[in-house]
Chain A
């Protein structure tokens, strides 16, 4: 069965600090997609990244970076030099290619303090 675990329920850091959000997943499939979404207070989901299971290269996009390690079934997300606008709930999610419904983790609420 599919499962996504985000062990960190809530994190608070001071602005400009780096912060890493952890994500561990479970799936029996060899082909799957992993996602990160941001949900600000408005509620709308903001797509951040999609990674397929065959691409283990780390990704960097501005202050955001992702570390995908199949050996540990983890897909961690790091924000460098955090800003107050990064405050939101972040969801890690998993989708198996054939079934394709997205399974979300419980989310990590991130507070960036000025």
Chain B
């Protein structure tokens, strides 16, 4: 099956710094990528949808100036958590929709962010 990678898998940073998380589709092209956030023992909540070459669409309640999403190519989307605070500590998971098999979404392994 299709593979989606995320980098880094874990990151620890100090409060106030910015962190960038990469999501790559390794063997397919993804016109659309999705970013989810999962707090401990909770469900996955969609944060935003990013389409290649256009601005991301954010879900209600998600600060677009804090969570910057860039989808510059058909295989790469990045999520930057700006001025991170401890409450941003979470598990961030991306998914990518196969350009060919339109309704297939493939999930990355997730990135665990800890903000001290």
Contact = CB atoms under 8 A, between A and B. Distances in A.
Contacts of B97: 100
Interface string B8-35: 0000000000000000000000001010
Interface in B23-51: 32, 34, 41-46, 49
Interface in A12-70: 33, 37, 42-45, 47
Nearest to B57: A101
A79 to B, nearest CB: 20
B42 A44 contact: no
B107 A45 contact: yes
A91 B43 contact: yes
Given A33-B103, A97-B103, A101-B49, A43 B109 contact: yes
Interface residues of B, number: 21
Interface in A63-114: 91, 95, 97, 100-107, 109
A102 B33 CA distance: 12
Nearest to B95: A102
B85 to A, nearest CB: 22
Given A100-B103, A102-B105, A44 B44 contact: no
A91 B46 contact: no
Contacts of B45: 104
B93 interface: yes
Given A33-B103, A95-B103, A106-B42, 18 more contacts: A42-B109, A44-B109, A44-B110, A45-B44, A47-B1, A95-B105, A97-B103, A100-B97, A101-B49, A102-B34, A102-B46, A102-B95, A102-B105, A103-B46, A104-B45, A106-B43, A107-B43, A109-B41
Interface of A: 33, 37, 42-45, 47, 91, 95, 97, 100-107, 109
